[in-house]
Structure 1
Amino acid sequence: MRIARLLFYGLAVVPAITAHDHHGGESKIPEGKTVSAEPLGTIMWIHIFIQMLAYGVVFPIGMIFGIGKSRWHVPTQILGTALAIASFFLGHAHTDREYTLNNVHASFAWILQILLVAQVVLGLYLKAHWEKGRINGRLRALLRPCHSIIGKLMPILSWTQMVFGGIAALGICQGEYLGQCVAHFIMGSAFIAYGILLTIILLVGQLWIRNSGRSQEFYDSAVIAISGCINTFTEHRWGTAWVRNDWQHTAIGIIWWCAGAVGMWLSWDYYSKKPKPKRNFIPGAVLFVTGWTMSAHPQELMVSAATHAAFGFALMAAGVSRIVEIAFILKDKHSIEEGGRGWSSFQFIPIFCLYAAGFLLMGANAEQMALIDASSIDHVSYILVLLSVACIVFLFANVIIYIYDHLANATEQNDNENSKNNSQGHVEEGEYELHGLISEDNYDDDPDESKPMLNGEEGGSSFEGSRAGRVG
């Protein structure tokens, strides 16, 4: 988290106020501000929506197609690249609101574009299948993991750029507001990432958790403890006077690493002859206490107090429902079914609450609260909008996981059919000719990526427990 903070600080420090070249003439940006007073124009809105479509929807789906070896990987990535390039130029063609030169969004855009170009070049090289010769063989072995790693990093980098885009458009997170803005956006994103991770674990990763030899609470508690150690020494600017919020943030860091240590200890049954992973309540309790603390955080504006309270309630609900899930729904087991593929509707409650808490926290920084307070939007409407966004992201995460699940099952079924045919010693007439057309496993740049991300026992995938119910 400290690295993320340093990156955010470094990119958010902008040079002296200078207008974009395309505006021409004297800058319309007021002194001490980073944007002019004009509203967002049509071209800028088109830029925003196309970039969100390309980086927020098309590229993540293309990434999943690539992992699942689908024939749709290349067309999807081509579509995303075309949208991204067109929108990139639209972002430099607007004539409405004026922004400072080299703001955080514009600076990070060049990094993203360079990675996008590199990803396209690598993809074209791998698709060409230049494998002959020692040089091509070694180069391909080197570039293949680079293409895979960049592809998997793109959703994270895209999310970062979308956050930077909101910051640049509103002209916030400057000067004395930078620190609290960093805290809100990083911690809010962390809660959303936690929710996405728990969604993956619930839907396709239960066998992986069971076979890892550790309980989910061990990993959660370890991350909580590490984060608490970092926050203990970074939430207060040492050498300055302590204020009320500094005490609260630092105290949260202390209880996080203390409780995290307890959670790691309780994750093992040390009293049995054969120690085994154990479930415990600690991560849920940490979420509840953190939510209670944030709901009582002192605020100057009514809308800010209401938004922080909603965030706190969502986090408390996540903590309580997580404890109920472990103690009463699962009864300390790792999954509701032995095969690791079943789940209860109740198990989605703590997960969705984390999505909601993350967006509520991201939308509760001081400058955004001042903008809402000065507008005609009441706090209830604003909170409902944030919850709506949480619903959309929650839906999209489930759709992405479903696509991966479907492709992984299709790959395993094809492998099993081929093994069965080979063992029988015959193949139906025309089967080889049709297999390449009907199979989703038609993108063969990286044979390693055809393996499911979360493997089960003895090399089987996490989806094996449900395949019989879905296919048989």
Structure 2
Amino acid sequence: MVIGRSILHTTIIIGLALALFAKPGRCMEMDNSDEYTRPEIVDAGPKTFHWLCTMGLLLILPSVATALSFADKLGLSLFLQFVSAVYAMIEAVVLRFPDADGIENRTSRGTAWFLMALLSCTLFLGSLASGTGALIRNKRLQSFVTYTGEYKLRTLHKVFSMAAVLTGWVKTCLAPVAMFGFCRDAHTGQCIAHGIMGSAFVLYGFVYSMVLVLPWIRNNQGKYSQDRIDSWVMCAWGIVNTFTEHRWGREGWGHGDYQHTAMGIIWWAGGLLGIFLSRNGKRTFVPSLLIIFTGWAMSEHSQHLIISTKVHALFGYVLMAGGAFRIIEISFLLRDRRSDGGIMSFQYLAPFCLVCSGILFMSANEEQLILVVRLGADHSAYSLVVISAAFMTYLWIIMALELYLRLASGSEKSPLNDYRASDVTEFELDNIGDVDRELEART
């Protein structure tokens, strides 16, 4: 029976792979790069080093500090955030990400200043929560701490820490945009759409990973399943998208209006079905199916450039695979249960596909692909590099979650303690029931 299930699962996966990626008769046509003269690459080495420093000190280091903060390791968290705040100040005041003309766009510059202020506020709140002597001596601050309370201050510090990580992500993504002079004039709207939607898929992958890695969330038997929450979010987003992507009655319909409005309609329609099917804590396939349809629609979007069409198609295929893997996980592996206790390796596939599709979509804006064409690379080489970035992003997500889990397991205030206590209670009650049944059988 087990062998039969394994064969079935393998057959499904192979069939999906063939259906998604094995398209016969693909031609190897390339875009003509003669008409494109920008962007120019200037000082590639120093700028790359600067970007790596920014990623390390404004994204990775704050994420480690956030894990420490959530695990109530406030002292070390504040030290790391102090390092990040110092670098953020240097980044805002001294360093720049100029393009070939020596100009850094205002969005990147403004994000640097905002991140410096945010990290400073985070450091300040954390210092108050930890009772730093230099601050607590001030009478006004003493009264503020007394009025607010340590718990609220620690909670605020966690919120600000997470906000700093998200802002660091934005800054890290904006840096290449600034260095190459992307996203200006007519390209601004497209860049914003790719950045927001791509980051949303990465965030969705993070949420799936968090639900998977943290046992008190994974094994939670609360009133609402993950699928119900997903259905509500998709329904709400679909309603917003339906009425904001096109100015109904005030302008004509274009190709893009039809695409985005139709996508909004299917999300709220499917979301309503998912909400109904997932009532009473049940699992449902609907959110995953919506992801598959979204991926299919994206894979069919024709673009001005051949390379853009192919990268968008790959993004759609990966998104479809993520939805399909999620359905297999829910229906075949877990058999509509919320968890099987531990984590199966297959369960990491769906969140990875979401992260990968998000990175692919963020990397598929037209100006970026024009640069790839000018460098003489094709879509396959570029896609492999982007997928490599997705692997590294997913590694960062999993390592941050695993770090928090390891730190939280040794904390007195960890939610893991409540989770273990509930497990012990259920175990003891089950044992009592078994003993009672044995006594009744003997008598």
Distance change (3 Å), C-alpha of 1:190 and 1:455: farther
State how far apart, in whole Å, the 2-side matches of 1:240 and 1:454 are. Answer: 57
Deviates more, 1:133-142 or 1:290-299: 133-142
Tell me what 1:113 maps to: 116
Tell me what 2:82 maps to: 78
State how far apart, in whole Å, the 1-side matches of 2:417 and 2:103 are. Answer: 45
State how far apart, in whole Å, the 2-side matches of 1:277 and 1:250 are. Answer: 30
For residue 277 of structure 1, the aligned residue among 260, 275, 281 is 281
Distance change (3 Å), C-alpha of 1:172 and 1:226: same
State how far apart, in whole Å, the 2-side matches of 1:454 and 1:216 are. Answer: 22
Distance change (3 Å), C-alpha of 1:362 and 1:345: same
State how far apart, in whole Å, the 2-side matches of 1:454 and 1:105 are. Answer: 42
The normalised TM-score by structure 1 is: 0.74
> Structure 1: any 5+ residue segments left out of the alignment?
1-34, 269-275, 416-449, 465-472
Tell me what 1:253 maps to: 264
The letter for the 2-side match of 1:122 is L
Contact 2:299 2:312 in 1 (8 A): yes
In the TM superposition, 1:203-218 aligns within 5 A as 203-205=213-215, 207=217, 210-218=220-228
State how far apart, in whole Å, the 2-side matches of 1:102 and 1:313 are. Answer: 33
Deviates more, 1:94-103 or 1:291-300: 94-103
Tell me what 1:323 maps to: 327
Distance change (3 Å), C-alpha of 1:97 and 1:90: farther
The letter for the 2-side match of 1:138 is Y
The letter for the 1-side match of 2:47 is M
Contact 2:239 2:264 in 1 (8 A): yes
Q: CA deviation at 1:144?
A: 4.5
Identity %: 32
Question: Does 1:160 pair with 2:166?
Answer: no
Question: Does 1:309 pair with 2:319?
Answer: no
State how far apart, in whole Å, the 2-side matches of 1:405 and 1:322 are. Answer: 24
Tell me what 1:265 maps to: 276
Distance change (3 Å), C-alpha of 1:99 and 1:107: farther
SS of 2:281 mapped into structure 1: coil
Question: Does 1:137 pair with 2:146?
Answer: yes
Question: Does 1:402 pair with 2:406?
Answer: no
Question: Does 1:377 pair with 2:377?
Answer: yes
The letter for the 1-side match of 2:259 is Q
Distance change (3 Å), C-alpha of 1:68 and 1:135: closer
Q: CA deviation at 1:396?
A: 1.0
In the TM superposition, 1:44-443 aligns within 5 A as 44-70=47-73, 71-92=75-96, 97-100=100-103, 103-127=106-130, 128=132, 130=136, 134=143, 136-138=145-147, 141=150, 143-205=153-215, 207=217, 210-238=220-248, 239-268=250-279, 276-337=280-341, 342-411=342-411, 415=412
The letter for the 1-side match of 2:80 is T
State how far apart, in whole Å, the 1-side matches of 2:365 and 2:67 are. Answer: 33
Distance change (3 Å), C-alpha of 1:333 and 1:46: same
SS of 1:221 mapped into structure 2: helix
SS of 1:308 mapped into structure 2: helix
State how far apart, in whole Å, the 1-side matches of 2:344 and 2:409 are. Answer: 22
The letter for the 1-side match of 2:381 is S
Tell me what 1:5 maps to: none
Distance change (3 Å), C-alpha of 1:103 and 1:86: closer
Contact 2:227 2:278 in 1 (8 A): yes
> What do the CA deviations read for 1:210-243 (whole angstroms, capped 9, x no partner)?
3331111101111111111111122235533322
Contact 1:205 1:454 in 2 (8 A): no
SS of 1:194 mapped into structure 2: helix
State how far apart, in whole Å, the 2-side matches of 1:357 and 1:303 are. Answer: 16
Contact 2:122 2:161 in 1 (8 A): yes
The letter for the 2-side match of 1:321 is F
SS of 1:300 mapped into structure 2: coil
Deviates more, 1:165-174 or 1:150-159: 165-174
The letter for the 1-side match of 2:64 is I
Contact 1:228 1:252 in 2 (8 A): yes
State how far apart, in whole Å, the 1-side matches of 2:106 and 2:206 are. Answer: 29
Greater helix proportion: 2
Contact 2:98 2:178 in 1 (8 A): no
Q: CA deviation at 1:406?
A: 0.8
Distance change (3 Å), C-alpha of 1:154 and 1:455: farther
The normalised TM-score by structure 2 is: 0.78
State how far apart, in whole Å, the 2-side matches of 1:281 and 1:368 are. Answer: 35
> What do the CA deviations read for 1:246-301 (whole angstroms, capped 9, x no partner)?
21111111000000000000002xxxxxxx31111101110111111111111121
SS of 1:348 mapped into structure 2: helix
Q: CA deviation at 1:408?
A: 1.3
Tell me what 1:40 maps to: 43
State how far apart, in whole Å, the 2-side matches of 1:117 and 1:457 are. Answer: 37
Distance change (3 Å), C-alpha of 1:374 and 1:402: same
- How many residues matched? 379
Q: CA deviation at 1:373?
A: 2.1
Q: CA deviation at 1:87?
A: 4.1
Q: CA deviation at 1:143?
A: 4.7
Q: CA deviation at 1:319?
A: 1.0
Deviates more, 1:143-152 or 1:44-53: 143-152
Distance change (3 Å), C-alpha of 1:151 and 1:69: same
The letter for the 2-side match of 1:58 is L
Tell me what 2:26 maps to: none
State how far apart, in whole Å, the 1-side matches of 2:286 and 2:156 are. Answer: 38
Contact 1:50 1:83 in 2 (8 A): no
State how far apart, in whole Å, the 1-side matches of 2:109 and 2:243 are. Answer: 31
Q: CA deviation at 1:120?
A: 2.6
The letter for the 1-side match of 2:221 is N
Contact 2:295 2:315 in 1 (8 A): yes
Q: CA deviation at 1:369?
A: 2.0
Distance change (3 Å), C-alpha of 1:378 and 1:111: same
State how far apart, in whole Å, the 2-side matches of 1:189 and 1:327 are. Answer: 28
State how far apart, in whole Å, the 1-side matches of 2:245 and 2:179 are. Answer: 27
State how far apart, in whole Å, the 2-side matches of 1:96 and 1:297 are. Answer: 30
Contact 1:229 1:257 in 2 (8 A): yes
The letter for the 2-side match of 1:177 is H
